[in-house]
């Protein structure tokens, strides 16, 4: 969030005068989002003091719009007892995130010991799921109903819980063993507000889309994105109701996955922090490892070229075309790899589509290579006379034409099939990044180039 310094002097004055009335006014008159924005620039203790002036609900909402780091800093700076009491009212998933961002383990231990046993257990359970699993992403704050309740009873139950529960729009119906048996939306309840004795079991949906707590969180994100849900229930392998993942967390998951994919596609190791905000050395590491590996792989071009030393000496004009012909492989490979990786991320292409993709990209490579080969032919045909030592104009033009077409096809095929192959082998398909494909095709491209030249010219 970008600090907005407009209000800072006023806020500092309020704090200096300990003017609780004005602080309350500030916290309630404008949108909680803006309150959070205007307070950036104050110290964690100052923010905590201002938050004390407003009621608990508003305090929780404003707090939720602060950066995670600021939330953690406040937890470290404010009196332990006050924070421990406050934590009980934070959404179950948000408080776990904030606690995990606290750097001092000592602080977390002290806070945990001050929490009620139930909250402590809840936090421990949520942190026990593997990273990036559905379980790690869910919240345990949701409304449980019983199928024998009436609409009126259900509405009363929501009314009671609305102060402490973030999402009250999907209500989950469980049996006596906490198995998930149905879902009813607040909308359906509101629609039946005039028929208060209607039983929940007559309204609820029984056939539900759920995710398993151990499944990767992207799976939940895909389901919610596809079906426009507000939240998706998370169950264990015995269909016990564990929690829900809400639409806002789904958006965060999708964005994080997208950024990771984009980074991998450009051969950057995934980073937690956003670029330019992360420490210099961390960004450097996430970039230099891949760059060095690619550089070392690209050393192969040296050896291949040295191998074709005789052809290079015989037909020196070929060298002038070298960057041109091999770049075609990188560009076409980058296109194909992006299309396939993106289609895989969106669920449109699966590993089992290997042969369908092979056929499609083989034809596409031909159609693309044909077009580029033609341009290459024309350019080679216009080569100045004095450069054409030891080779006829037609020979050279045909060599360039066939080489460009062949390299374009290779790039397209490699770019499209490597991600699928990697996925099949259990390697992240993003490793088949554009630079990786380009490097692979650079080496291959040189072999193709001089092999065709040897056949057509020498």
Span 397-456, contacts to a second copy by CB under 8 A: 404, 408, 434-435, 438-439, 442, 446
Q: Left, alpha or beta for 10 (phi > 0: left; psi -120 to 50: alpha)?
A: alpha
Alpha helices in 346-384 (DSSP H): 354-381
Helix H or strand E encompassing 212: strand 211-212
Which listed residue (12, 356, 393, 424) binds a second copy by CB under 8 A? 356
Q: Tokens for 14?
A: 């309020």
Tell me the Cα Rg of the chain: 31
Nearer Cβ to a second copy (135/445): 445
Is residue 185 classed as helix, strand or coil in its secondary structure?
Answer: strand
Nearer Cβ to a second copy (88/251): 251
Q: Binding of a second copy at residue 60 (CB under 8 A)? A: no
Which range, of 41-49, 72-80, 130-138, 248-256, touches a second copy by CB under 8 A? 248-256
Alpha helices in 216-269 (DSSP H): 217-227, 247-265
Residues 181-220 that bind a second copy (CB under 8 A): 186-188, 190-194, 205, 207-209
Nearer Cβ to a second copy (213/396): 396
Residues 267-306 that bind a second copy (CB under 8 A): 267-268, 274-277, 280, 283-284, 287-288, 290-292, 294-296, 298-299, 301-302, 305-306
CB of 335 to a second copy, least distance (A): 5
DSSP labels, 22-44: HHHHHHHHS-HHHHHHHHBTB-H
Residues 81-110 that bind a second copy (CB under 8 A): none
Kindly give, in sequence order, each residue whose CB lies less than 8 Å from that of residue 190, ignoring residues fewer than 6 positions away. none
Nearer Cβ to a second copy (306/425): 306
Nearer Cβ to a second copy (106/258): 258
Q: Left, alpha or beta for 330 (phi > 0: left; psi -120 to 50: alpha)?
A: alpha
Which listed residue (254, 314, 358, 421) binds a second copy by CB under 8 A? 254
Contact flags string 144-163 toward a second copy, x per CB under 8 A: -----------xx-xx--xx
Nearer Cβ to a second copy (124/295): 295
Q: Binding of a second copy at residue 180 (CB under 8 A)? A: no
Q: Binding of a second copy at residue 332 (CB under 8 A)? A: yes
Residue 354 backbone phi and psi in degrees, to 5? -45, -50
Rounded distance between C-alpha atoms, residue 418 and residue 200, angstroms: 51
Which range, of 80-88, 110-118, 233-241, 327-335, touches a second copy by CB under 8 A? 327-335
Is residue 202 classed as helix, strand or coil in its secondary structure?
Answer: helix
Q: Tokens for 333?
A: 């490979």
Nearer Cβ to a second copy (129/290): 290
Q: Binding of a second copy at residue 375 (CB under 8 A)? A: yes
Q: Binding of a second copy at residue 30 (CB under 8 A)? A: yes
CB of 350 to a second copy, least distance (A): 9
Rounded distance between C-alpha atoms, residue 335 and residue 347, angstroms: 18
Q: Binding of a second copy at residue 324 (CB under 8 A)? A: yes
The strand pair at 143-145 and 170-174 is best described as parallel
How many of the chain's residues bind a second copy (CB under 8 A)? 120
Which listed residue (168, 351, 421, 447) binds a second copy by CB under 8 A? 168
Alpha helices in 116-216 (DSSP H): 117-127, 134-137, 151-161, 186-191, 200-203
Q: Binding of a second copy at residue 360 (CB under 8 A)? A: yes
State the residue for tokens 């002038």.
Answer: 320
Judge whether 391 and 317 are in contact, CB under 8 Å.
yes
């Amino acid at each position: 969030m970008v600090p907005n310094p407009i209000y800072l002097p006023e806020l500092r004055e309020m704090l200096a005068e300990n003017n609780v009335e004005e602080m309350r006014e500030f916290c309630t008159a404008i949108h909680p989002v803006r309150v959070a924005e205007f307070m950036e620039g104050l110290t964690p203790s100052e923010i905590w003091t201002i938050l004390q002036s407003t009621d608990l609900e508003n305090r929780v909402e404003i707090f939720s719009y602060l950066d995670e780091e600021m939330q953690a800093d406040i937890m470290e700076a404010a009196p332990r007892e006050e924070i421990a009491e406050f934590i009980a009212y934070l959404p179950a998933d948000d408080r776990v995130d904030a606690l995990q961002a606290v750097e001092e383990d000592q602080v977390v231990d002290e806070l945990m010991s001050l929490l009620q046993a139930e909250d402590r257990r809840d936090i421990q359970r949520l942190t026990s799921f593997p990273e990036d699993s559905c379980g790690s992403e869910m919240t345990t704050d949701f409304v449980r109903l019983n199928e024998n309740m009436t609409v009126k009873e259900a509405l009363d139950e929501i009314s009671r819980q609305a102060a402490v529960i973030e999402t009250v729009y999907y209500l989950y119906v469980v049996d006596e063993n906490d198995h998930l048996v149905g879902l009813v939306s607040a909308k359906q309840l509101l629609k039946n507000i005039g028929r208060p004795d209607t039983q929940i079991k007559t309204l609820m949906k029984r056939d539900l889309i759920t995710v398993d707590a151990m499944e990767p969180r992207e799976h939940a994100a895909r389901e919610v994105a596809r079906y426009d849900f507000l939240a998706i229930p998370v169950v264990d392998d015995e269909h016990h109701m564990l929690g829900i993942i809400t639409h806002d967390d789904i958006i965060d998951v999708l964005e994080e996955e997208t950024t990771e994919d984009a980074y991998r596609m450009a051969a950057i190791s995934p980073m937690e922090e956003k670029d330019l905000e992360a420490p210099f050395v961390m960004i450097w590491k996430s970039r230099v490892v891949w760059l060095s590996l690619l550089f070392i792989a690209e050393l192969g071009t040296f050896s291949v070229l040295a191998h074709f030393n005789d052809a290079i000496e015989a037909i020196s004009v070929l060298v002038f075309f070298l960057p041109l012909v091999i770049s075609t492989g990188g560009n076409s490979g980058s296109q194909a790899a992006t299309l396939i990786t993106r289609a895989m991320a969106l669920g449109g292409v699966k590993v089992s589509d290997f042969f369908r993709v092979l056929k499609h990209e083989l034809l596409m490579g031909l159609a693309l290579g044909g077009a580029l080969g033609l341009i290459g032919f024309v350019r080679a045909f216009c080569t100045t006379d004095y450069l054409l030592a030891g080779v006829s104009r037609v020979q050279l033009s045909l060599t360039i034409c066939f080489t460009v077409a062949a390299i374009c096809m290779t790039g397209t095929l490699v770019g499209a099939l490597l991600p699928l192959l990697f996925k099949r082998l259990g390697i992240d398909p993003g490793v088949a990044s554009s630079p990786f494909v380009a490097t692979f095709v650079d080496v291959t491209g040189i072999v193709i180039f001089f092999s065709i030249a040897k056949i057509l010219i020498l």
